[in-house]
Amino acid sequence: MRPLVLALGALLALTLGAPVIGVAQEATPTAETAGSELARTDLRYVVPYTPAGLNPGLTVTATEEGICGFASSQALDRPDAWDCISASSQVYDPCFENPFVLPDDLGEVACFDSPFSTDVVVLTLTQPLARQKEAPDTGMSMAQAAGVSIDPWDLPWAVELANGEQCTLLHGTLAILAGQVAHYGCVGGGTILGEVNHQAPRWTANYLADGDYASSLVDVVTAWS
């Protein structure tokens, strides 16, 4: 993989037309209000590292040793995102590398459950990253299992909907409902059917609430990568 050299000193929020970088957060505070007035979906990148090290806004919940041998199956459009495993055989995905270290340094990665929390697990690498990973994972392994073809931005790592739901891309075997793959699990128990529609400035997703018999089209307030 080509070394990532990002001249980024802080985490900034970003809109779809003019991307800026965002830190993981507990929630988008005005999701309901933003949904009613939304002109375009807010697109945010998580960048955990600054030139001085891990961003001080993040909380390290554990530090372990581990290795990262595969491209992330969660942050599909990120060439700096990895699927990693700790020395205790715990799988973490996505884990983001530090772009400010030298390519030959083992360094560390910061692993997230979701971008809606500032908690991270730091893995100290015991083997070099596979630098031949040149391009973002297209998600084809997930898509092939469901018989569909997708682009990375069809499936952002996580989305926040105008109804306040926070949804994160699911791991492993995916259910098929109404002929659509249920790619996302949401905090409130619902799911998103199919891919996120990002053809217009205001993205939409087909959301099925827990216990409902029919899905509805909901605006995507924020998409995370």
* pLDDT tens per residue across span 88-101: 999 999 999 999 98
Question: Tens digits of per-residue pLDDT, 58-111?
Answer: 999 999 999 999 999 999 989 999 999 999 999 999 999 999 988 778 899 999
Give CA–CA dist 25/99, Å, rounded: 21
**Res 31: pLDDT:** 45
Lookup: tokens for 12: 């900034």
Question: Average pLDDT over the chain, rounded to whole?
Answer: 81
**Listed range (17-31, 41-55, 206-220) with the worst mean pLDDT:** 17-31
